[in-house]
Amino acid sequence: MQSAITSSDITSFASLAPAYPELLLAVGTVVLLLIALFWKSHRSGVIAGVAIVLLIATFALLVMQPGDAVLFNGVFIVDGFARYMKALVLGGAAFILLISLSSAREHGLDKFEYSILILLATLGMMVMVSANDLMSLYVGLELQSLALYVVAAMKRDDSKATEAGLKYFVLGALSSGMLLYGASLVYGFTGTTQIDQIVNAITAENRSIGLIFGMVFLLAGIAFKISAVPFHMWTPDVYEGAPTPVTAFFAAAPKVAAMALFVRVTMVSFESVTRDWQQIVIFLSIASMGLAAFAAIGQNNLKRLMAYSSIGHVGFALVGLSAGTITGAEGVAVYMAIYVAMTVGVFACLLSFKTADGSPIETIGELAGLSRKRPFVAAIFAILMFSLIGLPPLAGFFAKWQVFLAAIEQGLFVLAVIGVLASAVSAFYYLRIVKVMYFDEPTHEFAAVPAELGAVMAGVGFVVVTYFVTVGAPLTAAAALAAGSL
């Protein structure tokens, strides 16, 4: 662990510079909340638009940020890894807000609170990603979670949505409890809560059983958040029950933040006991890939299918972390970036799937003949499905390439073979969607696609198809820089 500057005392506003993005987002969110409260005749669409602008401004500030720093008595760290992951979180959040604009009303999300809560959740995620202390980690995590519990249950008169919100809350609270318990054990056995100090208190020889216990609880708590098997039970129900834009958000940004946390805690705090946490990560990875591949086959609901798909993809990302090396962390970083892009694209498509009379399409069977009626959407969705399978030359292949490369370097052959076979099985359910869209005859008409959804689809489709020649090289370089700063 090499943190460049340690300025623990805040002497001037300028010394807060590394935290400017968070400050901007926090102040901006509060101001936006006040405006929305006092401006009675506001329109929720305008608030959402301002929220997107705020996210973009934060993103710009983040990218322009100067070098690495540790702030606030060492609880807040800004390094390449944090910047990279925060950029993903902000990008994911902004795009999800954008694609939920057109269908906010039918999902009961045409309230200003929706945008505000998403902003608060994003702020929480940024704090999580920058956490250098188990306390700030928890604060960020809870800010994120509490905002999302409310968002999940926002469609109050819908029994499925409230059930989803409640389920999410109960299981989320349980996982937070486990995480806290683990954190207290780690503190008890090392005497510090600071992530980059914990490593100094542990050596591979003198590791105590209590510390390992604490680590296991800590990792179990985070595994809940990334919904890795066996801590995934809430995911299908919540994904299915929550309004589709909210599901989209769940699938994208929080996964990135929690994964960043997972990488930082394991790679930094528990570096000296890599062998111990490696076993856990390998198990989570195999279980997630395997279960998702088989469980998704029987699903007919598109959102439920995407839930299992996201569980599977978390498993694949963990293949990279299993290696426990910088190459592996780089793989995770690339994987999450491509995963977020694909998720945004998939949900842009899902949000546009409506029958001619405007009722949303929820099951796979209803997509029959989409390629005849809406060739553009069908083509983009098919490309995304092929990319999720991991077929070259699409982006999803290069994501898998990076993580499996790291696993092979460390000689994790069994994990790698199980992983690629799981991806072969998972191809079955992705292909079923392509089959229904392309090989089956249409049974009904489909509604037109809103312009901004079409634009997002076209953009994502372009990136996914041309990944190798366009964003591939810069993204890999950025990920290497990010992983190197750990």
Partner 1 sequence: MLLSVITFLPALGALVLLFITGKGEAVDNLSRWIALGFTVATAALSLWLWYLFDPTTTAFQFVENIPFSDSIGYRMGVDGISVLFIPLTAVLMPAVVLTSWGSITKRVKEYLIVFLILETFMIGAFATLDLAIFYVFFEGTLIPMFLIIGIWGGARRIQATYKFFFYSFTGTVLMLLAIMYMYWQAGTLDIRVLLDFKFPPEVQTWLWIGFFASFAVKMPMWPFHRWLPEAHVEAPTGGSVILAAILLKMGGYGFIRFSISMFPDASHQFSTFVFVLSIAAIIITSLIALVQTDIKKLIAYSSVAHMGFVTMGIFTGNIYGIHGAIFQMISHGVVSAALFLCVGVVYDRMHTREIDAYGGFVERMPRYAFAFMVFTMANVGLPGTSGFIGEFLTMFAVFQVNTWVAFFAAFGVILSAGYALWLYRRVIFGALTKESLKGILDLDAREAVVLVPLVILTILFGFYPAPILDATAASVNLVAQNFANAIGAASEAAVAAAGH
Stretch that binds partner 1, among 169-177, 191-199, 293-301, 465-473 (CB under 8 A): 465-473
413 binds partner 1 (CB under 8 A): yes
Binding mask of the shown chain, residues 365 to 404, with x at each position contacting partner 1 by CB under 8 A: ----------x----------x----xxx---x---x--x
Taking the CA atoms of 483, 341, 346 and 28 in sequence, report the sign of the dihedral they define. positive
Residue 479 CB, shortest distance to partner 1, in Å, is 10
Among 417, 443, 444, 470, binds partner 1 (CB under 8 A): 417
Place of tokens 């005497």: 191
473 binds partner 1 (CB under 8 A): yes
108 binds partner 1 (CB under 8 A): no
420 binds partner 1 (CB under 8 A): yes
301 or 476: whose CB is closer to partner 1?
476
Asked if 208 and 278 touch (Cβ cutoff 8 Å), the reply is no
111 or 435: whose CB is closer to partner 1?
435
Task: State which amino acid sits at residue 410.
Answer: Q
248 or 323: whose CB is closer to partner 1?
323
Among 237, 442, 468, 481, binds partner 1 (CB under 8 A): 468
How many residues at the interface with partner 1, by CB under 8 A?
30
424 binds partner 1 (CB under 8 A): yes
Stretch that binds partner 1, among 11-19, 73-81, 263-271, 427-435 (CB under 8 A): 427-435
171 or 399: whose CB is closer to partner 1?
399
427 binds partner 1 (CB under 8 A): yes
**Distance in angstroms (rounded) separating the CA atoms of residues 215 and 199:** 12
448 binds partner 1 (CB under 8 A): no
**Distance in angstroms (rounded) separating the CA atoms of residues 484 and 486:** 6
151 or 395: whose CB is closer to partner 1?
395
472 binds partner 1 (CB under 8 A): yes
213 or 468: whose CB is closer to partner 1?
468
Residue list 30-49, contact with partner 1 (CB under 8 A)? none
3 binds partner 1 (CB under 8 A): no
Residue 109 CB, shortest distance to partner 1, in Å, is 35
Among 53, 170, 356, 421, binds partner 1 (CB under 8 A): 421
458 binds partner 1 (CB under 8 A): no
294 binds partner 1 (CB under 8 A): no
Place of tokens 């490369």: 405
Residue 112 CB, shortest distance to partner 1, in Å, is 41
Which residues of this protein are in contact with partner 1, per CB under 8 A?
375, 386, 391-393, 397, 401, 404-405, 408-409, 413, 416-417, 420-421, 423-424, 427-428, 431, 434-435, 438-439, 468, 472-473, 476-477
